[in-house]
Amino acid sequence: MNGPTPKPLKAGELNDWLNQNADLTVVDVREQQELTIAPFPHPVRHLPLSDAEQWMGSIDEVLPQGGSIVVLCHAGVRSWNFGCWLLDNRPSLDVWNLEGGIDAWSVEVDSSVPRY
């Protein structure tokens, strides 16, 4: 990877940010059936990677111009790849990847979120 990469963010750190009402947008790139199984317990912009052709061309309208963007998926791999793509296209963004994804959130922050 030659370009910029998302900064790593631990689940506990994201929880702190959300509790502080930080200026951030959470983007969940999982598929709809994954959100049904284990929804993230805070508002998210849902951009499933399988539908990328539908939202990729309008990403500037979909995501805010300022604030931090936290990307998440099941384990943190798809979201990391999405974060890299996002930074390749908009290098000025402040992009963070939830390490371990929703699974880490369930283990470290909120055990009521089902693991799958």
The per-residue pLDDT for 22 is: 79
The per-residue pLDDT for 1 is: 53
Query: Number of folded domains in the chain?
Result: 1
Q: Which residues are catalytic?
A: 73
* Domain-embedded: residue 54: yes
* Domain-embedded: residue 115: no
CATH number, residue 56? 3.40.250.10
Question: In degrees to the nearest 10, what's the CA dihedral of 12, 68, 95, 51?
Answer: 100
Q: What is the pTM of this model?
A: 0.94
* Residue spans of alpha helices (H) in the chain: 11-19, 32-37, 52-55, 59-62, 77-89, 101-108
In order along the chain (116 residues), what is the average pLDDT of each group of 10 residues?
Answer: 88 96 93 97 96 92 90 98 94 95 98 96
* Domain-embedded: residue 51: yes
* Domain-embedded: residue 64: yes
* Domain-embedded: residue 97: yes
The per-residue pLDDT for 67 is: 87
